[in-house]
Structure 1
Amino acid sequence: MLKVLFAGTPDVAVPSLKLLAADTEHFEVVAVLTRPDAPQGRGRKLTPSPVKQAALELGLPVIESDPSEECFVAELAATGAEAAAVVAYGKILKQRVLDALPLGWYNLHFSLLPQWRGAAPVQRAIWAGDTITGATVFRITRGMDEGPVLAQSTVEIGAHETAGELLGRLAEDGSHLLAASLEAMAEGRISPIDQPQGAYEVADKIRTEDAHIRFDVPVFAADRQIRACTPHPGAWCTLHAEGADGESQTLHVLEAAPANMADPNLPGALEAGKLALSKKHVWIGTKSQPLELIRVKAQGKKAMRAADWARGARLTGEAYCD
C-alpha cells in the first residue's frame, strides 16, 4: 500500500482526493496539504478550500503550512508519506521539498503536455480553438510542468463547452488516470518518459482584464473568449445605452453562441458591438456574423436570460457594448 500525501486546493482537485482515499487497497492518504483559509464573499469571512472541506469530511489530517518554510520538510517527514499526488495546489515547490519524499511528487495537469504548461491550460486551449485536449500525470521537477510523463489521456473539446464544463470532465477522468499511474509507479510497472524539447505555448493565468470581450473580431473568436473565461474570471463588456438602468454599466456574459443565420428575425448587417433585440433573442455584432447573448448578468442584477434582461432594462436608442 502506497502512503500518499495529497496536495490540492480548488474543486477540480476534490475528485482525485476522494478516489485515492476510497481506494484503501492501494493507497493510504496520510495527510492533505492545501492552502490556508482565505477570505471570501462580501463579508470576507475566512473560508476553507474545497480540498480542506473534503479532507475534513473524510477524516484526514490537514496541513496548511507553507512549503517554503524551513520547518516544512520535518512536518512532511512526520506524515510517513512515500509519494505525493498534486492537483491544482497552487504553490511552487523547492527542490529540497521535492527531494523529501522517497518516491517523488506527481502532478495531474489538465493538458497534453508539453503543450499548455502553466496555470490555465483548459482556458487557453479553448481560447486557441483546440479541438482535443486531455490530462497528463508527470513527476514534478524544478522546471514548470516539465517533468517526465507517466501517462496521458485525451478528450475532445465540445463545440459549445465552457472552461468550467471541460475542467469538470477532466477532473473526473483525470482522477482515475492519477490513481492508476501512482499504483503502476509504486509497483514498478511504469517508466516515466521525458517530455520532448521545443518551444511550446504557455498557459498564462487569465485575469479580469483579459476577459473584457472583444467584438471587433470574427464571431468564432468572441465565442472562444467567452467560453474560455466562463465561469472564471467571467467574460464582460461595458454596455452603453439610454434607459432606466443608466447610460453605461458592466454586463457579464454567462452564455453566448454564434447566431443562427437561418433565423428570420435576425437583423441584417450589424456593426461590431451593436445590440439588436427581438422578443426572444439578443444579438450583438462582431466583425463577421452576429453573436447571440443567451444568459447575462447586468451590474447589480441577478443572472438571467438575455431576452428577459433586455426587456427589464427598457433599452432605448442605440445600445452597444465595448
Structure 2
Amino acid sequence: MRIVFAGTPEVALPTLAALHGSDHEVVAVLTRPDARTGRGRKVSRSPVAAWADEHGIEVLTPAKPREPEFLQRLRDLDADLVPVVAYGALVPPAALAIPRLGWINLHFSLLPAWRGAAPVQHAVLNGDEMTGACVFQLEAGLDTGPVYGRLTEPVGPADTSGALLDRLADAGARLTLDVVTALGLGALVGEPQPEDGVSYAPKITVEDARVRWGDPAFAVDRRVRAVTPAPGAWTEFDGQRLRLGPVTADPDGPDLAPGEIALAKKTVHVGTATEPVLLGQVQPAGKKPMDAAAWGRGLQTEKPVFA
C-alpha cells in the first residue's frame, strides 16, 4: 500500500522504520515544523523529519494539517492509509477523509484507558501494574475510534515512563505493521471501544513534575518515575530547582518530617508522609547530574530541607 506516515518525536521512529522496511511504500512523512530547541535555541528538524531526510522521503511540515496546500498535497500523493505515532496536532475531518482507508493511530495505552497526550506517564503515576498499546481508527473524537489490535506490557516497580515507552514503541511498531498489512488485505474489522473504563491522560506539565514531599513514599516514587526523563522531577532547595532521578523508599531509614533531609557519607534520605526515600542522582541548576551523596557532601546548611 501507499503510505503517508505521521509522527514527530523519536518514539515514532521504530514504526516508521518498520513500515519503510516492509512491502508497503512510504511515499511521504507528515511531521511538526522545525522548532527552536536546547539552550542555544537552534532550529532543529524533528526526529521523524531527520530520519526521512536521510532516507530520501518527502517531508510535509504544515503549521496545521488543515492548510489547503497540505490537503491538496495529500490528495496528490494518493495514499491508501496514514499511520500515526505521536504526530502532535489535531487532524481535521477534511484530512481524515482523503486516504482510502483513513488514518490509524498507535496509542500507548489499553484504550479506553488513558486517552490523551500522556498515557504512559499517567499509567506510571497512578501505579498501573499493566498497560499496553492499541492501534485504532482515527476519528474526530479524542482517541475514541474502533480498535484494530492491541498488546499488553507489564509495568515494573522500577520502570520510568521513558523505559516503558521505549518498550511499547518497539512492540507497537510490530503491531502497527501487522494492522497495516491486514487492512490492506481487507482482513480486519475494528472493535468499538467499551463505554466503561474511560480515563484521560492530559499533558504532564512542569508543575506536575514537582515532588510533593507530603505524599507517601510510594506516591513520591511514582511521580518521579512518571516524569523521567521528561519533563524531569524537581524540588526546590535554597531558592533554586534541583532535578531528581528515581528514588527508593527505605522503611529502615531515619525518622524525618516531609522534605527534611538527612545526610550521610554515602546516602541522602528525604522525609515523606510515610517512610523516607533515598535519592539517587540529582542535578543542581546549571550543573551536570551527580550522585546525591556527592551533592550532599558539598552542602553548607546544617538542617537542609526541600521546599
Tell me the TM-score range normalised by the shorter chain: over 0.9
Q: Deviations along 1:180-208, whole A, 9 cap, x unmatched?
A: 01111111221101111246221010100
- Partner of 1:316, secondary structure, is coil
Q: 1:280 is matched by which residue type in structure 2? A: K
2:248 is aligned, of 257, 279, 297, to 257
Is contact 2:221–2:246 with CA below 8 Å preserved after alignment? no
| Distance in 1 (alpha carbons) for counterparts of 2:114 and 2:154 | 16
Q: Does 1:193 align with 2:184?
A: no
Q: Give 1:105 shift.
A: 0.2
Q: Give 1:31 shift.
A: 0.3
Is contact 1:7–1:86 with CA below 8 Å preserved after alignment? yes
| Distance in 2 (alpha carbons) for counterparts of 1:172 and 1:308 | 36
1:130 is aligned, of 120, 128, 131, to 128
Q: Does 1:293 align with 2:279?
A: yes
Q: Give 1:80 shift.
A: 2.1
Q: 1:39 is matched by which residue type in structure 2? A: R
Q: Which residue of 1 aligns with 2:299?
A: 314
Q: 2:44 is matched by which residue type in structure 1? A: T
- Partner of 1:59, secondary structure, is coil
| Distance in 2 (alpha carbons) for counterparts of 1:139 and 1:174 | 15
| Distance in 1 (alpha carbons) for counterparts of 2:2 and 2:45 | 24
Q: Sequence identity of aligned pairs in percent?
A: 44
Deviates more, 1:184-193 or 1:63-72: 63-72
- Partner of 1:255, secondary structure, is coil
Q: 1:43 is matched by which residue type in structure 2? A: G
Counting only pairs closer than 5 Å after superposition, residues 69-88 of structure 1 correspond to structure 2 as 69-88=67-86
Q: Which residue of 2 aligns with 1:29?
A: 26
Q: TM-score, length-normalised on structure 2?
A: 0.97
Q: 2:240 is matched by which residue type in structure 1? A: Q
Runs of 4 or more off by more than 4 Å in structure 1?
none
Is contact 1:15–1:175 with CA below 8 Å preserved after alignment? yes
Q: Give 1:255 shift.
A: 2.1
Is contact 1:134–1:154 with CA below 8 Å preserved after alignment? yes
Gaps of 5+ in 2: none
- Partner of 1:296, secondary structure, is strand
Q: Give 1:257 shift.
A: 1.6
Q: 1:255 is matched by which residue type in structure 2? A: P
1:270 is aligned, of 256, 261, 271, to 256
| Distance in 1 (alpha carbons) for counterparts of 2:295 and 2:168 | 33
Q: Does 1:58 align with 2:43?
A: no
Q: Which residue of 2 aligns with 1:44?
A: 41
Q: Deviations along 1:89-132, whole A, 9 cap, x unmatched?
A: 01101111100111110000000000000000000000011010
| Distance in 2 (alpha carbons) for counterparts of 1:315 and 1:59 | 56
Is contact 1:35–1:89 with CA below 8 Å preserved after alignment? yes
Gaps of 5+ in 1: 241-247
Q: Which residue of 1 aligns with 2:99?
A: 101
| Distance in 2 (alpha carbons) for counterparts of 1:96 and 1:200 | 27
Q: Does 1:18 align with 2:17?
A: yes
| Distance in 2 (alpha carbons) for counterparts of 1:300 and 1:199 | 43
Is contact 1:35–1:64 with CA below 8 Å preserved after alignment? yes
Is contact 1:6–1:31 with CA below 8 Å preserved after alignment? yes
The structure with the greater share of residues assigned to strand is: 1
Deviates more, 1:174-183 or 1:189-198: 189-198
Q: 2:306 is matched by which residue type in structure 1? A: C
> What's the C-alpha RMSD, in Å, of the aligned pairs?
1.1
Q: Which residue of 2 aligns with 1:243?
A: none
Is contact 1:255–1:296 with CA below 8 Å preserved after alignment? no
Q: Deviations along 1:218-266, whole A, 9 cap, x unmatched?
A: 10001101111111111111014xxxxxxx321110221212x35xxx3
| Distance in 2 (alpha carbons) for counterparts of 1:154 and 1:7 | 23
Q: Which residue of 1 aligns with 2:159?
A: 161
Is contact 1:213–1:225 with CA below 8 Å preserved after alignment? yes
Q: 1:72 is matched by which residue type in structure 2? A: F
Q: 1:22 is matched by which residue type in structure 2? A: G
| Distance in 2 (alpha carbons) for counterparts of 1:122 and 1:199 | 16
Is contact 1:160–1:257 with CA below 8 Å preserved after alignment? no
Aligned length: 306
Q: Which residue of 1 aligns with 2:225?
A: 227
Q: Deviations along 1:275-322, whole A, 9 cap, x unmatched?
A: 0111111110000001111011011211011111111x3233110112
